[in-house]
Amino acid sequence: MKRTTGQNRDITREWRPATRAVRGGTWRSDWGETSEAIYVTSGYSYDDAETPAARFAGEQVGMTYSRTQNPSVQMLEERIALLEGAEACRVQASGMAAMTAAMLCQLSAGDHLVVARAAFGPTRWVTDNLLPRFGIEATAVDGRENEAWAAAIRPNTKVFFFETPANPTLDIIDIRGVCAIAKAHSITTVCDNAFATSALQRPLDLGADVVAYAATKLMEGQGRVLAGAVCGSADFINTKLLPFQRNTGPTLAPFNAWVVLKGLETMELRALKQAENALEVARFIEKRVPRTLFPGLPSHPQHNLAMSQMKMAGSIFSFEIAGGRKAAHALLNALELIDISNNVGDTKSLMTHPASTTHSSITPEVRAGMGVSEDMLRISVGLEDPADLIDDLDRALKTVGL
């Protein structure tokens, strides 16, 4: 295996982002393949007994077992780290495996975590149900209020966890402000950057310590496989995350790693174009419904903050209609082009009713506290012609009297 370029030094860190996206982490076998190879193997063989001994002792770099490392997976980790501007990255089998690992790898019984209340449903299940079972307390705050983060700090607070923009309410967290509060108290910040990706928002540059991803979404980009990623300092990844991951096994399969690796090559193009399409669709929807939650629109209360930390506001947004679950389902059922799907970040536009799908595993009270109402619909805008999406929405809105 060898890198495609840079015989005498690692030149990948000198490359600009677009170059990193298509060439970062490419290691070629002796066959000289242009597309990265998929190494479907669980184990590795050695020329002599001393080699595995040296590798297990950490004295020699090399593969030992695919729960710990695999060449296709390593290529993906290198590429993501390069795109994120992180010292290191490890990938996991899903976004939730990444979120769970990012929390559990650094928390112990007696510790306390603060989480922004608006978050992906399963993330709140982990903070509200799983962590307390192991003696880790979690406090959910209105993440939009910097003072709420500061007020929630206790002597045993170890982690701040937030998602921005948040799913599905599109709350924006002031990354610079919240990370500065954390830093002053030696608290580690973890930012779930799935909705924006490194193409639109760079949390590490804004002060975050750890960036976690559902790579399933825009990174993979075409709705094929699940994957997760955690990026941070080499120290955090190697001393905290890696021992947890190696021994608990949320490993990403080589084929899935390869799919995401190829997705990253077009991520920036897709993220920018889908964000542009989303803005066009949101401008149309805003005129027709009582409430539109899209940080890219000046009507969003945190529009200025969003634009100060994001290149564009992303491709996913929510809106509220009147008439609750019945009307929301009727609108979805009237769609002819946009798919009814609870996934996001696909090239195909997808729509869902969060209260009855992605956020159904949390209690109605927690849901209400987050701002996820029965009137809410979420759309993930893809790469179709936005005029066709608008035609489809126009028709569907009329069926519910809007």
Task: Return residues touching ligand PLP (CB under 6 A).
Answer: 94-96, 99, 120, 123, 163, 167, 192, 194-195, 214, 216-217, 226, 228, 344
Instruction: Please identify, using beta-carbon distances, which residue of 168 and 254 lies nearer to ligand PLP.
Output: 168
Q: How far is the CB of 296 from ligand PLP (least distance, A)?
A: 17
365: exposed, middle or buried (Cβ count in 10 Å: 0-12, 13-18, 19+)? exposed
What are the backbone dihedrals phi and psi of residue 59, each rounded to the nearest 5 degrees, phi first? -95, -15
Q: How far is the CB of 86 from ligand PLP (least distance, A)?
A: 18
Q: How far is the CB of 301 from ligand PLP (least distance, A)?
A: 20
- Pairing of β 2-3 and β 27-28: antiparallel
Instruction: Please identify, using beta-carbon distances, which residue of 41 and 222 lies nearer to ligand PLP.
Output: 222
Q: Which residue is nearest to ligand PLP (CB)?
A: 95
Q: How open is the CA angle 153-157-163, to the nearest 5 degrees?
A: 80
Spatial contact of 347 and 220, defined as CB atoms under 8 Å apart: no
Q: How far is the CB of 98 from ligand PLP (least distance, A)?
A: 7
Distance separating alpha carbons of residues 219 and 252, to the nearest angstrom: 15
Q: What 3-state DSSP class applies to 90?
A: strand
Instruction: Please identify, using beta-carbon distances, which residue of 83 and 229 lies nearer to ligand PLP.
Output: 229
For residue 157, the surrounding DSSP H or E stretch is strand 157-163
Instruction: Please identify, using beta-carbon distances, which residue of 198 and 216 lies nearer to ligand PLP.
Output: 216
39: Cβ–Cβ under 8 A, 6 or more apart, which residues? Answer: 70, 71, 72, 254
Q: How far is the CB of 195 from ligand PLP (least distance, A)?
A: 6
Instruction: Please identify, using beta-carbon distances, which residue of 63 and 241 lies nearer to ligand PLP.
Output: 241
Q: How far is the CB of 211 from ligand PLP (least distance, A)?
A: 12
Other Cβ atoms within 10 Å of 108 Cβ, number:
11
Distance separating alpha carbons of residues 306 and 280, to the nearest angstrom: 17
Distance of CA 98 to the CA centre of its chain: 9
Instruction: Please identify, using beta-carbon distances, which residue of 131 and 396 lies nearer to ligand PLP.
Output: 131
Spatial contact of 192 and 201, defined as CB atoms under 8 Å apart: no
Instruction: Please identify, using beta-carbon distances, which residue of 208 and 327 lies nearer to ligand PLP.
Output: 208
Show the DSSP H helices in 141-248 as ranges. Answer: 146-152, 175-184, 234-235, 242-248
Instruction: Please identify, using beta-carbon distances, which residue of 306 and 396 lies nearer to ligand PLP.
Output: 306
Instruction: Please identify, using beta-carbon distances, which residue of 188 and 352 lies nearer to ligand PLP.
Output: 352
One DSSP character per residue, 1-50 reads: -EESS-SSS--GGGS-HHHHHHHTT-EE-TT--SSPP----SB---SSTH
Instruction: Please identify, using beta-carbon distances, which residue of 26 and 354 lies nearer to ligand PLP.
Output: 354
Q: How far is the CB of 311 from ligand PLP (least distance, A)?
A: 18
Q: How far is the CB of 150 from ligand PLP (least distance, A)?
A: 24
Q: How far is the CB of 295 from ligand PLP (least distance, A)?
A: 14
Distance separating alpha carbons of residues 123 and 162, to the nearest angstrom: 10
Spatial contact of 255 and 106, defined as CB atoms under 8 Å apart: no
Spatial contact of 305 and 178, defined as CB atoms under 8 Å apart: no
As separate numbers, helices (DSSP H) first and strands (DSSP E) second, the chain gives: 16, 14
Q: How far is the CB of 102 from ligand PLP (least distance, A)?
A: 11
